[in-house]
Amino acid sequence: MLLENNLLNFLLVMLQELGLTAILIVLLFAKLMEGEKTSPMLYPLVMVLLLGHVLISFDGNTTGMLFSGMYVNTPLIGMEKGILGLGTLLICLQAGTWLKNHKHSTEFIMLLIATLMGMDYLLSAGNLLMFYLALELSTIPLAALCNFDLEKRRSSESAMKLILSSAFSSGILLFGISMLYGATGSLNFIEISRSFMGTEMEMLALIFIFSGFAFKIAVVPFHFWTADVYEGAPIPVTAFLSVISKGAMIFALTTMLYKVFGAYAAMWYNILFVASAITMTLGNLFAMRQMNIKRFLAFSSITQAGYLLLGLSGASAEGATSVVYFMLVYIFSNLGAFGVLALVSAATGKEEIHDFKGFYKNNPVLSWVFALSLFSLAGIPPTAGFFGKLFLITAGASRFNMPFLVIAALNMVISLFYYLKVVRAMLVEQQDEPLPTIAVPFYARIALVVCVAGVLLTGFFGQIYEYIHTLSLGF
Amino acid sequence: MHEIPINHILFLSTALFFIGVYGFLSRKNMITMLMAVELILNAVNINFVAFNKYLFPGKLDGLFFTIFIIAIAAAEAAVAIAIIINLYRSHKSIDVDEVNDMKY
Amino acid sequence: MMPDTILIALIPIIPFLCFLLLGLTGKKLGAFSGLLGTASMAVSAGFAALTAYQYFFHVGKIDGVFQKMVVFNYHWLQFTPEISINMGMLLDPISVMMLVVVTFVSLMVHIYSLGYMKGEERFSVFYSFLSLFTFSMLGLVLSANLFQTYIFWELVGVSSFLLIGFYYTKPSAVSASKKAFIVTRFADLGFLIGILILGFNAKTLDFGLLIERLIHVESPYLQTAIASSFMGVSALTWGLLLIFVGGAGKSAMFPLHVWLPDAMEGPTPVSALIHAATMVVAGVFLVARLFPIFILSCPVALDVVAYVGIFSSLFAAIIACTQTDIKRVLAYSTMSQIGYMMFALGVSGYEGEAGLGYMGSMFHLFTHAMFKALLFLGAGSVIHYIHSNEMKDMGGLRKAMPITHITFLIACLAIAGIPPFAGFFSKEEILAAAFHKNPVIFYVGLITAAMTAFYMFRLYFSIFWNKPTPSAGHDHHHHGEGPFTMMLPLFILALCSISVGFIPFGQFVTADGQFLANEFHPMFSIAPVSLALGGIFLAMLFYKNANELPAKLAVSMSVLYASAYRKFYIDEVYLFVTKRLIFNLLGRPAAWFDRTIVDGLMNLIGGLTSGFAEMIRGLQSGKVQSYAIWFFAGVLGFAVLFIYLW
Amino acid sequence: MNLTLLLLVPLSTALGIILLRDVKHIRLMAAIGSICQLGLAIKLLLAYQTARLLGDTSQMLFQFKYAWYPSLGIQWHFGVDGISIAMILLTAIVVVAGILFSWKMSFQGKEFFLLLVLLSMGAYGFFISLDLFSLFFFLELAVIPKYLLIAIWGSGKKEYSATKLALMLMGGSALVLVGFLGMYEYAGKTFDMLQLAQAHLPLEVQKLLFPFVFMGFGVFTAIFPFHTWAPDGHSSAPTAASMFLAGISMKLGGYGALRMAVYLMPEAAQYYSPLIIILASIAILYGAFATMMQKDLKYINAYSSVSHCGFVILGIGMLTRTSVTGAVLQMFSHGLMTALFFAAIGMLYERSHTRQIGELGGLMKTMPFISCVMFIAGLCSLGLPGFSGFVAEMTVFMGSWENADTFHRVATIIACASIVVTAVYILRALGASLLGPIKNEHFNHLADATWNEKIASALLIVSIMALGFAPFWLNNLITPDATLIIHALGK
């Protein structure tokens, strides 16, 4: 604040967004320059830049406020941006195989990074206007991305479903915002949180805004778009939707609930309780019968959203920490799964569970990667997912809401059932001509190695959690 | 001249909002649905302006918000229509009910 | 001064080592294993004799009373501070007497089997099992702790199981062995619970302390044991009765006797050792072991013992008259004789003269071991010669196998109680005791004695007379008598059956350990002896030469005959209870219930879940607008719920 | 002695297996690793006893602490007492035997041995953990290997059974988790068992949480009515897997129920004790009766396991020092015995390719060794003196009989009655499959056990007899800690 108009501090505080902007500019120029085909150097270059962006995010000292509180950055937010950036990097790496034979690869990366930037702003938003702009910036390009397989029916259908329903939801969200504005007379988070008066209008606003978030995080009953969109969209986009945008929104929700609606903690605890309970349960029930792996992963991600809300309901530093930690783990696990899926479908176009029967025969390593990721999603030790999920539940247990705990615990069992279904198809069942051996290109290999390492090791280094915890204490 | 009480305006905006919602839920043509969304957004706009004018005349942030909403709505509509056009290529229809390959 | 611990310890240990050795390396030893087993048995028999000598003539008696001596005691398994299973060795008249009997008969059987089992494929296994049995039996008689008794009790049971099922390829043998094990196991359940009751009432399992605490009226343990009652019967009575159930199981008392006749499927030497001389008297031994408690604290239980004993004795005698398988006849006679021992205990008192029954019972146990072993071994050599157990295949063998004939005759006379053979003396004592205590039992006993004589001689005549000698045409690869190894035991046992009756048994084995003269009243013995002679005469009439009398008799009292021949349908009853009731009413339902209800529930949960999943799939209709409807409904629902309701 | 070794050895074995290629080397690696582990276990036992002799009276020995997630109060906290050492010893023995028995495993041998090692590692970690979080970690670590072992290398309706097993065990651990979190919250954010033991949760809380923890672990030890995973799982699993399953994994449940439920929530334990006893008695007798009707050897053993584990639950429920000791003894004994039984069945099945007692018969003639092994296992399980089963069951009976009221007495008598039923079905099974005339022509030329099978069986039999002949060493090892647990009850 003091050094607000100090350029260096300005750069420092917004370093991540500025970095992304730089990358975007590079891409734009590359697009202008490029003739028939994009230069082979571009892709690696962008990857390296992204990596740099990720690395600078993890030092927890970029903190400050800009534009009279419209833009806020704290170590924790920086961390969250880093996590999202890491996820995007991994997705880009995995997308390589699919992009190779796609004529708009540069635009793809551009849109992706634009979305990421929108999310960064979303996290840093300290003001409802900023928040709304960032939200749209991170939504609209996604719709375009969903349609990226221009000639595929399902791709455009999913894009349509996404854009229409997100337009609707942002309308509702906006209505909530307007009510909030009317009730408190301000758009600034801090001022809003100060000037609550407990009117029903505020509560209504809370619910409208929550439903806007719930839509993006895919919380039952606001989740229905998820499955269709995930199924239709190109795999990298699905991965992005299920990991990055979900993550961004849950982080933003943390800010929104803890910072803005702190006064209504008692109320939104109940909301989270109900929402999380039905989300877990219905997500599981839907996932049980899915045959298409993308769709199946969509529903599993819905279930995970339920657990995220459970952790969030802890309403404490543990709550925030567990959410961030889980997202980190979730990126590794989910992208591990999507990575393998991406390779397979790029090579063979197969996405059904039964196609994976006897997968182990020709691709032992890939199937172990896949299996590990699924176990991590199911929360089976020694994978990191176990720790992530357990910390969420532990944070949620702080109120000691017994039914809540029981529901969560039992849902872990149900979810195991369908994760095992996929594992069984790969490792146990056989078919006459199983999928051929699938080549793993360099970038994808890097991505998978990172994911597996993350899945296997994260849990054993308590320091990671502790670090996030120290950051979130100041949060 | 005495001015219109805020409740009237709020009633209008709320009505607009629900009309928009109803339109979105009932119309089968995607373009019309987009227009319904615009109604919702306009309801929001009216809210902002009204609140700003009546309750917090000192500041302008309500108005700013309105402007931004209009701008973004345009962008959103652009992308949406692009998508719908693309959809039309493959489905030969912009009837929302005919576009449900993916379900269950 | 104490007897030599090492010496006594070696008596059971030698057979055990022998068992391990033969069990592990039997195949390689081959025929030699028999000699090895016999030799080691001889050694331990020698030690037993030595111990008996030491005990009875040097160390055992202290101022005129034979002491209970615990020569060795080790805390094997500590339960509570006071209750523990100890492994010990207790010397007192009966245990020493049993030591001698077991080792001696076992030695005889070892020798006999050298010939009888020659050429068997599993020769060494047979000997290892014999050693195992001997070890367990010795451990049983030596045990100083009620639970130790139970341990060896079980071991005896399993070795008997192994030996009955020795010819495991014969289904009948297998089922017989199973039957034996399960029936005795059932009885052991009673024994176990009895142990729990007594042990926890007396707060100890050591015989010495246990008896000490449960016989004195003023002892608090006894009072609680009597005070605490279940279904109107005092804990003490329950305990004793349940323990008696255990004993009845092993000793084939009615109605737990069903396994004994089938047990004859085992090799004959085994029947001689286990199912005639030693194991089956374990029950008697057990009751005798706890006799002070029975007689001093709980005479009711003792009456039960007496009546069960006398009934089984008569019951078995009746059946024995009709059986045609010679080993089964012997089996039933065994049962009947053990019944004798039981009711002898039942009618006995404790001090001095009153202890006659106890003494008689032990005496009869001793003599019975001799002549019953002899009978079985004799029968063994007959079967060895004829290759059949059925009377109809036999007859007129007295020429073919003279030695067997004579020794068998001696044994029959002994068991029939004809003076001066061994059985006479012991039976006298028993009947005398019964006469003093309970006339009913006495008269039934008399009748039983007569019937004993009858069926034994029925057996004798139909084996050795009845038909003309088989012609030379009827030839066998080996002629007549078995090898010397089979003859020698017959000789020795015959000598014993003649002589042991003259041992002044009362000097050694009595209830209270004090001297008790066996005086002998010729007047009294007129009745039993004449009855026995009558029985023999009848048998001679019927069976010395083939004639129609038996058949006529059978017809004239057909009902009784038939039912006796069918062993009064006890087996059928058991079959009904086990197969029909237990299996169909408990086993099947349990299995069904488990598969259908319990497991069904588990599957039902899964089914319901997926069914519900199937039900709600319609929600995901694929139509954007329905999604939006849900969305809006959610918003409104949340609003209503959380703003107004919650 | 450093307890982390118990985890490092399996871990390094697993890594070695991953690196190696040839199945011969892999199985050698596995065998060496497991044998080292057995050595460690024995060394641990000796070290423990010497430490006790030297007068170390602390409850847990060789403690090792490392703050893992300090802000959540989660830590690596290891330590052992007599009970856990007994369990570790059991695990080590069974593992060695299991690996030797699956020596011939050719199909995907690498994965097979890897999973076996992981499974054992889970067990070791479980038994040495004093921190509820790491304990839970290891508890679940062992679930998936079981699933895969059954689903991939199993027989029959393997996938159904594997899924059922995994789900039911997961359900169990889910319940456990709820209980643990409850304790964690009420005891002030600590997972440390020793601190929880001092925490003295209020009675209402205990009453609330006890069922979760106890039943959760009960599922693992096949408590009625959550036992149905056991028959299917055991019968479908490959030999080594069913050995591990019945020998080790069911013991996790008993141990957990004793440690986490009874010890940490004593008042609730007393409150629920009658219920536990009723369940246990049902399991014992009902399991036994259900066994009588089975035709498949593995089902017979699986159901008898249900019945035998009923004794564990009964011993725990009776809440006397002797009965608790008996429960631990029974766990040890049952682990060895049932492992041996499954091994024997596996050997028969490999050769005769059937487990239906109706189709078997007369195998004693062609495979005396295997038949003897099976006989010994059978006799042990019907509680014959000289074998471990007898000692354990008698201790349980004795301990149960200490409660002097009619209810406990009746329960005890019911339990005792099972020894008869056990005799019935064991003899039925053995008689039908081993004795009698040879049913099937091709049985005549079947080979007897090979060297590895002989060694493994010998190992198990020796340890069974070691307990059967000299129970006092184990008894003395366990009793002090049993006493401690009972003292927690305030008895």
How confident is the model over D196-225, as pLDDT tens digits?
988 888 999 999 999 999 999 999 999 888
Residues D18-38 have a mean pLDDT of: 92
Residue A283 reports pLDDT greater than 70: yes
CA distance A409 to chain C (A): 16
Residue A278 reports pLDDT greater than 60: yes
pLDDT value for C2: 64
Contact A60, A468 (CB under 8 A): no
Other residues' Cβ atoms within 10 Å of the Cβ of residue C495: 14
Residue D70 reports pLDDT greater than 80: yes
pLDDT value for A89: 93
Contacts of A143 in chain B (CB under 8 A): 79-80, 83
* Phi, psi (deg, nearest 5) at residue C267: -60, 145
Give the whole-angstrom CA distance, residue D483 versus residue C78.
13
Host domain of residue A371: 261-475
Give the whole-angstrom CA distance, residue C344 versus residue C362.
9
Inter-chain touch B76–A136, beta carbons under 8 Å:
yes
pLDDT value for A269: 92
Q: How many residues does chain C have?
A: 646
Contact C448, C528 (CB under 8 A): no
* CB nearest to C623's CB, from B21, B24, B100: B100
- Please write the tens of the pLDDT for every residue from D396-420: 999 999 888 889 999 999 899 888 8
- Please write the tens of the pLDDT for every residue from C105-160: 999 999 988 888 888 888 888 888 999 999 999 999 999 889 999 999 999 999 99
- Please write the tens of the pLDDT for every residue from C296-333: 888 888 889 999 999 999 989 988 888 888 888 889 99
Q: Which of A222, A223, A296, A302 to mutate to test the interface with C (most CBs of C within 10 A)?
A: A222
pLDDT value for C579: 76
- The most confident of the ranges A5-9, C22-26, C332-336 is C332-336
Q: What percent of chain C has pLDDT over 90?
A: 16
Inter-chain touch A222–C643, beta carbons under 8 Å:
no
Give the whole-angstrom CA distance, residue A297 versus residue C328.
76
Q: Which CATH class is domain B6-101?
A: mainly alpha
Contact C330, C463 (CB under 8 A): no
Inter-chain touch B25–C632, beta carbons under 8 Å:
yes
SS3 of residue C170 by DSSP: coil
**A442-457 vs A364-378: helix crossing angle, rounded to 10:** 40
- Please write the tens of the pLDDT for every residue from C53-82: 888 888 877 777 888 888 888 888 888 888
From D298, D290, D308, select the one nearest D236 (Cα to Cα): D298
Please give the full DSSP string across A174-192, using - where no structure is assigned: HHHHHHHHHHHS--BHHHH
Residue A371 reports pLDDT greater than 90: yes
Give the whole-angstrom CA distance, residue A423 versus residue A375.
9
Tokens 């701008």 label which residue?
Answer: B71
For chain A, say whether D133 makes contact (Cβ under 8 Å): yes
pLDDT value for B52: 92
What chain C residue is nearest to A210 in terms of C-alpha separation?
A: C635
Give the whole-angstrom CA distance, residue A157 versus residue A386.
36
Task: Say if residue A382 is preceded by a cis peptide, omega within 30 of 0.
Answer: yes
Inter-chain touch A203–C613, beta carbons under 8 Å:
no
- The pair of structure tokens assigned to D223 is 């408590």
**D132-141 vs D158-186: helix crossing angle, rounded to 10:** 170
Mean residue pLDDT across chain A: 89
Out of C309-313, C420-424, C548-552, least confident range: C548-552
pLDDT value for D167: 92
Residues D119-130 have a mean pLDDT of: 93
From C268, C281, C278, C269, select the one nearest C110 (Cα to Cα): C269
Contact D256, D220 (CB under 8 A): yes
Inter-chain touch D420–C185, beta carbons under 8 Å:
yes
Residue C368 reports pLDDT greater than 80: yes
Task: Return the DSSP state at C400.
Answer: T
Residue A338 reports pLDDT greater than 90: yes
SS3 of residue D422 by DSSP: helix
Q: How many domains does chain A have?
A: 1
Tell me the CA distances in angstroms from A73 to A57, A97, D400, one per residue in order. 11, 35, 66
Provide the pLDDT confidence category of residue D183 given band limits of 50, 70 and 90. Answer: very high
Contacts of A318 in chain D (CB under 8 A): 71-72
Q: How far is CA C200 from the centre of its chain?
A: 26
Please give the full DSSP string across C12-31, using - where no structure is assigned: HHHHHHHHHHHHHHHHHHTT
Residues D217-245 have a mean pLDDT of: 90
* Strands C69-78 and D74-80, bridge-based pairing: unpaired
Give the whole-angstrom CA distance, residue D159 versus residue A45.
48
pLDDT value for A60: 59
Other residues' Cβ atoms within 10 Å of the Cβ of residue D204: 9
Provide the pLDDT confidence category of residue A1 given band limits of 50, 70 and 90. Answer: very low
Residue D243 reports pLDDT greater than 80: yes
In a domain, A65, yes or no: no
Residues B24-50 have a mean pLDDT of: 94
Residue A38 reports pLDDT greater than 90: no
Tokens 């359940």 label which residue?
Answer: C189
- The pair of structure tokens assigned to D420 is 């008869």
Residue A41 reports pLDDT greater than 70: yes
pLDDT value for D458: 92
pLDDT value for C473: 45
Give per-residue burial for C498-535: e unless 16+ CB within 10 Å, then b.
Answer: bebbebebbbbbbbbbeebebeeeeeebebbbebbeeb
**Contacting residues for A348 by C-beta, under 8 A, at least 6 apart:** A355, A435, A436, A438
pLDDT value for B1: 57
**Contacting residues for A7 by C-beta, under 8 A, at least 6 apart:** none
Residue D138 reports pLDDT greater than 90: yes
Provide the pLDDT confidence category of residue D10 given band limits of 50, 70 and 90. Answer: very high
Give the whole-angstrom CA distance, residue C608 versus residue C614.
10
Contacts of C626 in chain A (CB under 8 A): 224
Amino acid found at C65: V
Contacts of D184 in chain A (CB under 8 A): 394, 397
Task: Return the DSSP state at A434.
Answer: P
Give the whole-angstrom CA distance, residue A71 versus residue A122.
9
ipTM of the complex model: 0.90
Contact D286, D224 (CB under 8 A): yes
**Contacting residues for B41 by C-beta, under 8 A, at least 6 apart:** A171, A174, B20, B69, B70, B73
Inter-chain touch D166–A416, beta carbons under 8 Å:
yes
Residues D237-247 have a mean pLDDT of: 90
* CB nearest to A150's CB, from B34, B64, B86: B86
- Please write the tens of the pLDDT for every residue from A117-147: 999 999 999 999 999 999 999 999 999 999 9
- Please write the tens of the pLDDT for every residue from A141-161: 999 999 998 888 899 999 999
Residue A29 reports pLDDT greater than 70: yes
Give per-residue burial for D106-141: e unless 16+ CB within 10 Å, then b.
Answer: eebbbbbbbbbbbbbbbbbbbbbbbbbbbbbbbbbb
pLDDT value for A3: 47
CA distance C375 to chain D (A): 30
Contacts of A228 in chain C (CB under 8 A): 620, 622
Contacts of A271 in chain C (CB under 8 A): 638, 642
Residue C613 reports pLDDT greater than 90: no
Contacts of A398 in chain D (CB under 8 A): 185
What chain C residue is nearest to A215 in terms of C-alpha separation?
A: C631
Residues A44-53 have a mean pLDDT of: 88
Q: Output A416-419 pairs: Cβ under 8 A, ≥24 positions apart.
A: A416/A378, A416/A380, A416/D166, A416/D167, A416/D170, A417/A288, A417/C606, A417/D163, A417/D167, A418/A284, A418/A287, A418/A288, A418/A290, A418/A296, A418/A300, A419/A300, A419/A374, A419/A375, A419/A377, A419/A378
Provide the pLDDT confidence category of residue A96 given band limits of 50, 70 and 90. Answer: confident
Residues C286-298 have a mean pLDDT of: 88
Q: Which residues pair with D129 in a beta bridge?
A: D78
Provide the pLDDT confidence category of residue C472 given band limits of 50, 70 and 90. Answer: very low
Task: Return the DSSP state at A224.
Answer: T
Give the whole-angstrom CA distance, residue D30 versus residue D116.
9
Residues A347-368 have a mean pLDDT of: 90
